[in-house]
Structure 1
């Protein structure tokens, strides 16, 4: 993502050798990129509960790639959040193209947090996935 996309989020080194990257989502980023279609009470709760997180770059670089026998044997579903400003629809499609899902569902009017912006619709889709893959 371009630097300006992160708005007021902060990235700082962490770890004994400062080789990790911690991120803290800023208030403007949460309001305008993660929760822009979510109810105000969920935005406020997110603001109160936010904590620094990791991009896990160092951890992931030390792991083996997923195998076809393990991860590749699991049926996958992907729910595209059409109004996600954090992971735009084009990038979500590239993710699906890179590692195809058995089922792709598109959700209109959903931001990055469909459990807040469209909880009933998300629940319906998760039940649909469970029924289809059971």
Structure 2
């Protein structure tokens, strides 16, 4: 596998620490970004008034890249919506976008519709001790969420080492959902978002997204689907070597 690819990981830089190390050791350039009010970003959630504020670090980074250099853009879970906005705004700077058990929107309805479909398909009982904020009233979708500790242990980090779970407990923060901002039907276009290669990495035994992964793939088939077995939702921590190999294979095939 040739070195020298440029990888960009989005939405919580800390969780990529294992892959960042592996990829850098074999000569790749790697950037892991914290979005607004995520990870160690200094802003608090009440300072983030829109999805534009939230993804500003990503957009600022993409804008700074030379026009003749393309990146492999990787987003997990809710980060799939964030990399979709980068695809729309910087399609010529992205060789391939990899959705890792992530929200993958399509062009037939708004990304906000996708968010609401996930909530409708998710039972209240399965959310355990997660906490949601309804700043716009209980009759509207939640505006923010934070994962509970029991949920982290039982679902998100079920396949991870105990030390990774403990690190997550220390770093977990509430995150905005921005359903109203994502409700814009013209947010993504065929000419821009639709022109970027998309690959979906299915995470098996993912109790958070597994059923919905297949639904999104059927609704908007990507260029390719990769499968990682027995990894759960947080594959970058539970199976970093397997995910790294998957990502490098995708970069080799599409990263021209």
TM-score by length of 2: 0.49
Matches within 5 A, 1:91-110: 91-110=212-231
Structure 2: how far apart are the matches of 1:91 and 1:22? 21
Q: Any gaps of 5 or more consecutive residues in structure 2?
A: 1-121
Aligned to 1:7: 128
Q: Confirm or deny that 1:60 pairs with 2:182.
A: yes
Q: Confirm or deny that 1:41 pairs with 2:176.
A: no
1:41 to partner: Cα distance: 0.8
Matches within 5 A, 1:73-84: 73-84=195-206
Aligned to 1:124: 245
Task: Please give the secondary structure, in 2, of the residue aligned with 1:57.
Answer: coil
1:13 to partner: Cα distance: 2.3
The alignment's C-alpha RMSD in Å is: 1.5
Superposition misfits of 4+ residues, deviation over 4 angstroms: 17-20
Aligned to 2:151: 29
Q: Confirm or deny that 1:111 pairs with 2:111.
A: no
1:5 to partner: Cα distance: 0.8
Structure 1: how far apart are the matches of 2:219 and 2:176? 23
Q: Any gaps of 5 or more consecutive residues in structure 1?
A: none
TM-score by length of 1: 0.91
Aligned to 2:68: none
Structure 1: how far apart are the matches of 2:208 and 2:189? 28
Structure 2: how far apart are the matches of 1:93 and 1:13? 29
1:125 to partner: Cα distance: 0.3
Say how many residue pairs are matched.
131
Task: Please give the secondary structure, in 1, of the residue aligned with 2:225.
Answer: strand
Aligned to 1:71: 193
1:64 to partner: Cα distance: 2.1
Q: State the Cα deviation string for residues 22-75 of structure 1 (Å, max 9, x = none).
A: 111000111111110011111111111010112221221246241110111111
